[in-house]
Amino acid sequence: MLRQAQDGRLRLGVNIDHVATVRNARGSGYPDPVRAALLAAEAGADGITAHLREDRRHITDDDFARLSAGLPVPLNLEMAATEEMLAIALRHRPHAVCIVPEKREERTTEGGLDAAGQHNHLAPMVAKLREAGCRVSLFIEPDERQIDAALRLGAPVVELHTGRYCELPEHGRAEELKRIADAAALAAKAGLEPHAGHGLTFDNVIPIAAIPQVAELNIGHFLIGEAIFDGLAPVVRRMRALMDEARG
């Protein structure tokens, strides 16, 4: 049975893409991202996130099918707004779909989705995903214009891009942190559920987790990297503990 997060608690979505990156580096069958997803769920992840990229550089169609079939927690598909990805999402109907911008040459998702500029392209996709029962999220910059656009598109969730905040030195983060907190407050006031993610680590997660309106954090690269040293379950437990501490 699908395990849902306790009401009101900040949820942790663990992104397992980079388990597949390591597997694909050798073209072998291991490490298996589905095994990592099950372990992360057992250790306290409230959901699993996977980005099926157009070039399939990490998660494959088979991985996504296996994740869709057998997780005890909700699955969140990150995808570009393409017809191919829409068809895959409609076939598997994951609990959530987060629409992200995607450029083939980028190493990771750089910048947020231009929900405002792409309204006509995104509107039918958001509508079809919602009709299929998926909770649609848009990965946007913490920016009023993008929040307004998400509202107009009828997406119930916005995921605020924390990449810029994470890249700044600790002493220089206050302004960007305020931008994220203001955007979360604005989104929540408008009836959207704010999520946040990208670049989060043990060292920078607490101020983001402390933003009261943020309902979910999606974290991947750091957790999978840190798991090399400490194991995935302890690392997920530690991130959960820091998030709980931030909510105090």
Q: Which residues are catalytic?
A: 51, 78, 198
Neighbouring C-beta atoms of residue 106, cutoff 10 Å:
11
Q: How many Å is the Cα radius of gyration of the chain?
A: 17
The first and second tokens of residue 241, run together, are 């503990």
CB 217 within 8 A of CB 180: no
Is 221 marked within a binding site? yes
In whole angstroms, give the CA distance from residue 125 to residue 83: 8
In whole angstroms, give the CA distance from residue 135 to residue 4: 14
Is 66 marked within a binding site? no
Q: Residue 104 or residue 248: which is nearer to ligand PXP going by CB?
A: 104
Q: Which amino acid is residue 224, in one-letter code? A: I
| Shortest Cβ 205–ligand PXP spacing (Å) | 10
In whole angstroms, give the CA distance from residue 213 to residue 187: 9
CB 224 within 8 A of CB 16: yes
In whole angstroms, give the CA distance from residue 60 to residue 24: 10
- DSSP for 55-106? T-SSS-HHHHHHHHHS-SS-EEEEE-S-HHHHHHHHHH--SEEEE----TT-
Q: Length of the chain, please? A: 248
| Shortest Cβ 174–ligand PXP spacing (Å) | 21
Is 220 marked within a binding site? yes
Q: Residue 38 or residue 77: which is nearer to ligand PXP going by CB?
A: 77
Q: Which amino acid is residue 90, in one-letter code? A: L
Q: Which residues bind ligand PXP (CB under 6 A)?
A: 15, 17, 51, 78, 98, 100, 108-109, 139, 159, 197-200, 218-222
Q: Residue 109 or residue 146: which is nearer to ligand PXP going by CB?
A: 109
The first and second tokens of residue 32, run together, are 């298996």
Q: Residue 17 or residue 63: which is nearer to ligand PXP going by CB?
A: 17
Is 240 marked within a binding site? no
Backbone angles phi, psi at 157, to 5 degrees: -130, 140
| Shortest Cβ 198–ligand PXP spacing (Å) | 4
| Shortest Cβ 17–ligand PXP spacing (Å) | 6
| Shortest Cβ 1–ligand PXP spacing (Å) | 26
Is 60 marked within a binding site? no
Is 114 marked within a binding site? no
Q: Residue 94 or residue 199: which is nearer to ligand PXP going by CB?
A: 199
* Residues placed in the known binding site for 1-deoxy-D-xylulose 5-phosphate: 17-18, 53, 58, 108
